[in-house]
Structure 1
Amino acid sequence: MKKNMSNIKKSALVLPAVMLLMLLAAGNLFAADTLTVDIYGPGQRKVNIILLPPKTVPEGKYAGSKETDLLLPAEAGLFNKDLEKDLGFLPFLNIVPITDILGGDPSRGVRPGDIDIKPLRLSKVDLALTTGWEIRPNGEKNLLIRCIGTFNGRTILGKKYSMVTEEMLPRIADRFCSHLMRVLTGRDGFFESSIAFVRKTGKNKEIYTVSPQGRNLRQISSLGGINLSPNWSPDGNRLVFTRLGSRQHLLCVWDRATGKIDQKSFPGNTVIGPDFLPDGNMAATLTMNGNSDIFLINGNYKPKKALAK
């Protein structure tokens, strides 16, 4: 029985990647183009993607230049590291190193026509990412990122980011990977989301948030005491949690727009495991009548009825 359950779990993990590959092979991922990817043999469970070396494009400051090896800005290498790190969070992608490509870097530019697709296909690469840096005469930097399908050599996703600075690089990597995830799977949100958690601060426990990539650490509460069980609202704009005060439990709701925290007490002085429901109302365990029951709580923090006794 345990063996069968193990096989079922493995199949459940493999299925999303296989479905993605089938979708890629079928094409029609978005209206602008059709992506078709060869499945190079039975059992392929991931989409092979390669991040090609960055290039400075012959535009702006270098407009008309015939050189193929223009000086790269310092941000180029840093951004490719951020982008590769983000791609590593997508379990259906397999990042192919440039050293696996016969003859090395097959690109002389960043557009589809600048890339020799044949060695990529020989190495079973399905998608190629290019990053191009445009240096303006005033020193400003624009970044062009493309995802190109190797079956037909067409761009399936292209984005341009203007006036790029080093501080913006992680955020740009997050945004592009979010777009890429939507194109390939029909879903996004992972790279734009925040994780709420409890962290010990001296003798207290406070609520913090952080991005899935481990960036943008932020302390949400500074209430003292013990703060527990943070849960997001469906729209991600509010966070509900329990505060264990010196005399009673409090239901706390943090508002992203204002940064303020509402604190509400209830008869019985117990608030356990608060959470948002899909309709925006809340549910929590309260001791309204001396018993610990799960109550529906509306947007005005009024207990409406017992959902479970």
Structure 2
Amino acid sequence: MIDAIIKDQHTSTSFITFLPHNLQHQSILPKWNDILIDTHLQKFLTQISNCKNFESFINLHRNSKYRTHISDINWEATFQYFDSDSESKLITNFSSSYRKSHKIKILIEELPTIEHMKKACPDLFNNWFCPLCSNNILNNNNSQKETFSHIFHCPYNSRKFFILINNNKKFLLQLLLQYDKSFSLSFSSLNSLSFLWSLSSNYTLNFIDLVKGIVPKVLFDFIFSFVKNNSITLDILFQFYNNIYKEFMEFVWIPRCEIQLVLERSHNIHRKQKFIRRNSSNPRSNSSSSYNSSNVPLLLDQNSLRNSIYFGGIFWIFGTGLTIS
């Protein structure tokens, strides 16, 4: 019966006549959550998608610190940094794609530390600890778990980070002086940013966040106060951040990985073994973050986008919990 009806309609010569000239008298008012949308719809749909993605990112347990400091971070510059060494969006460059992927791993604290590898390969690394500061891989009083945070606080790396921080202080000053040699700049000029050169605090933005690619507003404003130009400020920032990434890799992460590989080979652990799919009985931790997130509210229901519609501007500017009654 149904097949016969479909067949008849398929061969039917009758069709619906559409008269578009009547549409000019029809008012179509697009709305989102009962709010009238007066911008280009395609652009607005992109904003909705970006807002949802941003909320998913910022609501991660490991990012609870950034929810607290959400208004202290220049999110636009932060996200632009991850594409800063791409020559063109129209060309696939494998080296820049790899760097971007690796930078994102640092941002989301997914570097393959020992604690991270235990989640995927508990049978191989169950009793392993930091390959740098522990006397051996067996559990003893001197053994330290290698979390993402431990990379920055490992005694073996303390001297390296001291040098890395000073190198990048100098590099930032050099970038500003290259723009204008008349600037009166010295190390003391960076005193207002002293907390950014620290590794000690879990509660304020610091050098660990710079390594992760987070751009504090105070740093953006500091550079802008000299160059008075947004695009030049971004260019200096991206050079500065890419240098931090480069030196972190050269001085800290790559040497650590080389030592780890030697230890793995000495215990007959090879690359293929680490990629064998396992059914891990270990619960997967949400984060290595030591920041207490119990009192940090989540961003929900695209409220920041709603406030952006009311007040204008970029939606993540309004991610501080502001609501409209």
Which structure has more strand as a fraction of its residues?
1
Which structure has more helix as a fraction of its residues?
2
TM-score of the pair, normalised by structure 2: 0.21
